[in-house]
A and B are shown apart, each in its own frame.
Chain A
């Protein structure tokens, strides 16, 4: 069991700011709460907070946990995180998620990925650890939607001052509060422990956020209503948003057995299955979100699924 490195109330580290990036359904809010609850149970001041717009599966969301040994005088987003937890490597290049925003050389990053070479590929100067939380969840739980316990466990470990048993209790408490059945909670705890133990414990020194004086305020000018009214003139821009990055599994149609019943075409909620000149269905992988409704509905079972690995 880890010793407490920073007893609460000693004012040693001030505040640690953790930022979680994931997609709707990953369990990022719960991951941030697992860390919050674990630190709170150890006597620290805690604030946690998820930020999402119109809730939908697959869309990027962010959550934040602040841990301090004194009253927390901050609210809202964390622009300069000490720790960044990324639930899905496809988020790295997502301009709306921007998970690498505001990181410094001392920031610690934990990323859920099964691909090697993340640090080099994205020229990340911060310290980075990869875990295959999705693979672990598939192995232990049998499915890999939410990775909340895995990421919560990983974040608790990396902080260095949260003992394993406090982490486990927090996983149980948070999963119970959202109505997860006991058996599934046990498996989640197992995943969380595996992630916890696969990572080193750091001594995180909080970065005294120096006022970013380089930033400047701006006086916005008046603009014509052709510019300043909330309307979009550019048409067809939805194709620019590659929602295919949201997939965990990819549906694949086997044309040698497909009888052209078109049920996949009918059921696809995103309208990304089209029919070719010979009336065979085709999936637009740039925009298929991997909901797998086509796979479920195919009456002849000629659609199979493959774990997604983005081709680099």
Chain B
């Protein structure tokens, strides 16, 4: 074990190296490129044994990843943003093949307007495709989640691919201390993949990914995927327990920060949850009993754990770093749906923030607290709100002026 300063991208590459991955099809895109550059170098130097192949697009890349995984090898690939969307068609396809590949998405807001910094519309657009999803807050969690992901994906109760999400820039290019576990310990944790259902052997021919006609056949296969995904709740818990035992780091389907006596809860995912924790510390200094809940396992959705963590609170503020245009925040909708059957439930508020990587200032966190406390007192919740500051509005107006667009 060594402790080093690593970016999220480097942490991802180390996870892949330690997992003894056999095959990496790759295509570059900012802010993910550093992962595949690093892996390409390691394959070239012989530090990793296997095959690294550059592809002509993300669509081909995920097809190759799925096909290779269907031969029974351990496969990794990574992309971001527009690349993930370009591959979306085949994400559904390979998930249906029930192949346990692991893929990293480095979040970047979607065009248009085209930009580079993160929000979660890219990863959440792949919410329904059958890939499990783990959303990481720290660089350490990126590395650890890759190791855990292979063990979960390759478990026979699951056999579905996994997407691990990290924020572009705020994790991908951010260095922080990361423990790189020893090869021996990882081998103790993660056994080689032994496929039983999908593999390539000349003596044992099979047709995979067959077409079906007729809804009853299709429904059967689709619902099998859903049940396998739900099985991952239990498998994740087992794997996390073993991981904690071996490496001393504990991961839940959700993370709870200062939640014991919390009356008001902030729900935040991914890297900005770190800023949310600092906000909780500040709120507590001013006398408000607050806590933070971070959904880590996003697919399968850990509804039961979320209900148990939130149902007895006074107020819940869901911070969505995404926007379903014409509806609102994706996490808000799912958390509100999970809590709606509870007779005793908190007021639930919805905030959209950090779109395109926009920073969240102290005053915006303060607004979340004040609105949540007042909604809990009055029972009246405001509608969806975009977090924005007066200074940002001033700057935006100035830019519009430069662009030759002045309001009448």
Contacts and interface: CB of A to CB of B under 8 A. Distances in A.
Interface of A: 33, 36-37, 40, 45-51, 53-54, 72-77, 79, 209, 211-213, 215-220, 223, 226-227, 230-235, 237
A218 B392 contact: yes
Interface stretch (B42-50, B157-165, B200-208, B361-369): B361-369
A114 to B, nearest CB: 32
Contacts, number: 109
Contacts of A218: 388-390, 392-393
B175 A48 contact: yes
A75 B389 contact: no
Contact of A46 (B176, B388, B391): B176
A53 B116 contact: yes
B272 A36 contact: no
Interface string B268-294: 000110110110011000000000000
B119 to A, nearest CB: 13
A211 B116 CA distance: 29
Contact of A220 (B112, B272, B282, B393): B393
Q: Give 9 nearest A-B pairs by CB, closest first.
A: A234-B404, A233-B404, A73-B278, A230-B113, A211-B362, A215-B363, A216-B390, A49-B174, A232-B403
Contacts of B400: 227
B288 to A, nearest CB: 13
Given A76-B359, A217-B387, A47 B116 contact: no
Contacts of B366: 211, 213
Given A72-B274, A73-B277, A217-B367, 18 more contacts: A33-B5, A53-B116, A76-B169, A211-B282, A213-B363, A213-B366, A215-B391, A216-B389, A217-B389, A218-B388, A218-B392, A220-B393, A227-B407, A230-B112, A230-B113, A232-B404, A234-B402, A234-B403
Interface in B329-371: 357, 359, 361-364, 366-367
A219 B275 contact: no
Nearest to A50: B173
A76 to B, nearest CB: 5
Contacts of A76: 169-170, 272, 275, 357, 359
Contacts of B170: 49, 75-76
A219 to B, nearest CB: 7
Contacts of B209: none
B379 interface: no
Contacts of B404: 232-235
B192 interface: no
12 contacts: A46-B5, A49-B169, A73-B281, A74-B274, A75-B170, A75-B272, A76-B359, A212-B363, A215-B390, A218-B393, A219-B385, A234-B402
Question: Which of A40, A46, A53, A217 counts the most chain B CB atoms within 10 A?
Answer: A217
Interface of B: 5, 112-113, 116, 169-170, 173-177, 271-272, 274-275, 277-278, 281-282, 357, 359, 361-364, 366-367, 385-393, 396, 400, 402-407
A218 B385 CA distance: 10
Contacts of A231: 403
B63 to A, nearest CB: 29
Contact of B403 (A48, A77, A233): A233
Contact of B175 (A46, A77, A237): A46
A220 B387 CA distance: 9
A227 B174 CA distance: 35
Contacts of A74: 274-275, 278
B361 A47 contact: no
Contacts of B173: 49-50
A75 B175 contact: no
A54 B30 CA distance: 9
A215 B361 contact: yes
A110 to B, nearest CB: 22
A215 B389 contact: yes
A209 B278 CA distance: 12
A47 B391 contact: no
A212 B405 contact: no
A14 to B, nearest CB: 12
B177 A40 contact: yes
A53 B117 CA distance: 8
Contact of B274 (A50, A75, A226): A75
A36 B175 contact: yes
A54 B108 CA distance: 13
A39 to B, nearest CB: 10
